A and B are shown apart, each in its own frame.
Chain A
Amino acid sequence: GAGVSQSPSNKVTEKGKDVELRCDPISGHTALYWYRQRLGQGLEFLIYFQGNSAPDKSGLPSDRFSAERTGESVSTLTIQRTQQEDSAVYLCASSPGTAQETQYFGPGTRLLVL
């Protein structure tokens, strides 16, 4: 089927506003990951889901960041009270679920906080 999709592809928001980023993983993939890539930097792990549960939330930068996943499918990453340092590309990836399975990445959401 289709690959990982993310929406919106681009988002410009004002400082202090909340944003929601959406990820549609590949159908049947039980593992889902969120990463952030700031300008000129590498991929920064944020959170991953196994099914609808998030066993590892250690990468979330602050309590302004939260994520959920429903139906072992769609995931939403929410950033509350956005700050300029939140500007980055947010990438979602999914994998079938076993640890050695490679991750398939979406195209990312480019977030710009003014």
Chain B
Amino acid sequence: DQQVKQNSPSLSVQEGRISILNCDYTNSMFDYFLWYKKYPAEGPTFLISISSIKDKNEDGRFTVFLNKSAKHLSLHIVPSQPGDSAVYFCAAMDLGSGTYKYIFGTGTRLKVLA
């Protein structure tokens, strides 16, 4: 049972354009979400997070949007740069569960073309 889904395994975008990475979840109890970026042969690194009390969080070129009714979140990267080429994972957690268990999606490989 995949509670967090990233249905696009890969995405190619031209440098300077917008990259939109999508993530869907099934558990309505999830109330905290994060995006991680992973380069080959390295561990994931934290990118941006959003709490369910918000519908948008922005940090520089990165913006995460949350649509609770649709159980959907997306990461926008504007403008996309070649260095953004990596695998992006979304992760979700139920803060009220009392555990610290993040559920990760399967990842989307972003390729930014120069």
The complex places the Cα of A103 from the Cα of B91 at a distance, in Å, of 11
Q: Which of A42, A50, A104, A107 contacts B42 (CB 8 A)?
A: A107
Residue A56 at the B interface, CB < 8 A? yes
Which bucket holds chain A's interface residue count? 20 to 34
A-B contacts at CB below 8 angstroms, number = 61
Q: Which of B12-20, B54-62, B74-82, B96-104 contacts A (4 or more CB under 8 A)?
A: B96-104
Residue A82 at the B interface, CB < 8 A? no
B44 adjacent to A45 (CB under 8 Å): no
B44 adjacent to A99 (CB under 8 Å): no
Q: Which of B6, B32, B36 contacts A99 (CB 8 A)?
A: B32
Of chain A, the residue at the smallest CB distance from B107 is A42
Residue B45 at the A interface, CB < 8 A? yes
| Least distance between B45 CB and chain A CB atoms (Å) | 7
Of chain A, the residue at the smallest CB distance from B49 is A102
- Residues of A contacting B91 with CB < 8 Å? 43
A45 adjacent to B104 (CB under 8 Å): yes
The complex places the Cα of A41 from the Cα of B9 at a distance, in Å, of 10
| Least distance between A94 CB and chain B CB atoms (Å) | 11
Within 8 A of B (CB), among A72-114: 91, 93, 95, 97, 99-100, 102-108
B101 adjacent to A4 (CB under 8 Å): no
Within 8 A of A (CB), among B39-89: 41-46, 49, 51, 89
Q: Which of B6, B34, B42, B106 contacts A102 (CB 8 A)?
A: B34
Chain B residues packing against A (C-beta within 8 Å): 6, 32, 34, 36, 41-46, 49, 51, 89, 91, 93, 95, 99-107
Q: List the 5 closest pairs (A to B, CB-CB), nearest first.
A: A105-B43, A42-B106, A43-B104, A102-B46, A105-B44
29 pairs across A/B with beta carbons < 8 Å?
A31-B100, A33-B100, A33-B102, A35-B104, A41-B106, A42-B6, A42-B89, A42-B105, A42-B106, A42-B107, A43-B89, A43-B91, A43-B107, A45-B102, A45-B103, A56-B100, A91-B44, A93-B44, A97-B100, A99-B93, A99-B100, A100-B32, A100-B49, A103-B102, A104-B46, A105-B43, A106-B43, A107-B42, A108-B41
